Amino acid sequence: MPESLRGIIKPSTSQGSTSPALTRVAYEESLKAMASNTAVLRDCGAMLSALGIAVLPKSDSEPLKSAVLPVALLPRPFPASQFNEAWQLGSIIARLMDNIAVDPEWLVTSLKEVTEADDFTRRLVDICREVYIHHGRDHSKDIRLHLLRHDYLPTAICNRLLQVEVNTMAAGFAGMGTQVSAFHRMTASAALGDLSGLRLPDNKPIETFAAAVAKAVEAYNEKFGRQSRSICMVVDAPEDNECDQRFLETALLADHGISVHRRTMAELAKNAYIDEKTQLVFVPSLLDPERMVEISLFYFRTGYGPSQYLDDSHWDIRKRLEFSNAVMCPSIPQQLSGTKKVQQLWYSDPSVMTRFGLTNEEADMMRQHFAVQVDPSTAEETVAEAIKNPMAWVLKPQREGGGHNMYGDEL
């Protein structure tokens, strides 16, 4: 800096860099200042590029052309107490989901009415019934891997986070979330001073996802006396969110020596091989179709919506995989335990939660963090209220993947 200015802005040398107190005003001013500072925006842009916070808009034809994703410039300050509550709920929800998944009888019974109205859920329930009830497969003895994402909204209701849903299938953004978290460390430091003054929680879900997959592969090898180092990621193609999925592949390759074979439902329907006697599953190598690769685990990033099953062969391979010895992430009971109907059931009746292993205290804690959910086919009063006041409600079909809900006037 020019000598003349030194007296004015000479920093105190008795402590580290000074961080302004993180008031709402300071935060908003920082945000505005960043958004209008070309040097800072260039810095952010280069960091987004380097972190691979991107999609592949033409993943099939132009896989080298990525496009940077929009992200918030700064992480949003958030009350630590609310964060910690949601964090604690994580393992309770996982336990609930797992206990529901190993009770296929209850799932089939509870979803009976949904299957009458919804053909997609019916087909899943049919497979669940055939595999786990008619053929008596004991899901509690299967290797089960849950890769869950719980979505919350901050609300004014007692200043609480309210959970919107639990994703038991194809939960996205574990990879991007890890990268965005690194990006936000950069911007928070630029805007608000040294990171030491901020309490940014460690946020590397991709590492824990990969570690969980590796554990499941290990359990498979131990249980069946195999040495598989390959999993199959079942994907849509084209898939513009492929970069997010590749972060898991990278973590598995670099940290666990596990290869990921990306296959569509159509490819699996055509050429997955399931040995009838051993129920081991193999897919042909992409490079050399005569080389069959043993797959220890199928990780579904598709298969959660009816449009992803193009014909009966897709349903057939899904069923045959469910009968096999490969680990399914998720299995069909796990997938069903994440349906909106099941979530509505345990939300509206705490005895469902205690039946599935939660203590009364845990069930109470859960209820405090869930938005009210009702089944419109059985809740006349609520439906009437929602018609009167549509801005206060959302109508959700039995679908995953976002974009299917109806809001406000659409109700």
122 has binding-site annotation? no
161 close to 82: Cβ distance less than 8 angstroms: yes
109: contact with a second copy by CB under 8 A = no
Q: What is the DSSP letter of 12?
A: P
Segments in 312-394 forming alpha helices (H): 312-323, 332-337, 340-348, 350-355, 360-367, 380-388
CA–CA distance, 406 with 165 (Å, rounded to integer):
16
Residue 59 sits in the site that holds a second copy (CB under 8 A): yes
402 known ligand binder: yes
How many residues are listed for the chain in this entry? 411
Using rule CB under 8 A, residue 205 touches a second copy: no
104 is in an annotated binding site: no
Q: Is 407 annotated as a binding residue?
A: yes
Stretch of residues binding a second copy (CB under 8 A), selected from 76-84, 166-174, 268-276, 378-386: 268-276
What is the per-residue burial (b if ≥16 Cβ within 10 Å, else e) of 13-48? eeeeeeeeebeeeebeebbeebeeeeebeeebeeeb
Asked if 43 interacts with a second copy (CB under 8 A), we say: yes
Q: List the one residue from 137, 226, 320, 355 that touches a second copy (CB under 8 A).
A: 226
* Closer by beta carbon to a second copy, 37 or else 359: 37
223 is in an annotated binding site: no
Beta strands in 25-160 (DSSP E): 54-55, 67-68, 149-154
Opening angle at CA 33, ends 32 and 39, nearest 5: 130
Identify which range of 135-143, 287-295, 315-323, 392-400 contacts a second copy by CB under 8 A: 287-295
- Name the minimum Å distance from CB 24 to a second copy: 17
240 binds a second copy (CB under 8 A): no
Q: Does 288 bind a second copy (CB under 8 A)?
A: yes
Instruction: Check binding of 39 to a second copy (CB under 8 A).
Output: yes
The answer to whether residue 182 forms part of the interface with a second copy (CB under 8 A) is yes
Q: Does 21 bind a second copy (CB under 8 A)?
A: no
Sheet with 297-300: list strands edge to edge. Answer: 259-263, 230-234, 297-300, 327-329
Measure the CA angle with vertex 87, ends 82 and 90; round to 5°: 130
Is residue 48 within the footprint of a second copy (CB under 8 A)?
Answer: yes
Compute the least distance from the CB of residue 274 to a second copy, in Å. Answer: 10
Total residues at the site for a second copy (CB under 8 A)? 87
CB atoms within 10 A of CB 178: 21
From 75, 284, 303, 330, residue interacting with a second copy (rule: CB under 8 A):
284
Q: Are strands 297-300 and 292-295 parallel, antiparallel or unpaired?
A: unpaired
For the annotated binding site, the residues are 245, 340, 396-405, 407
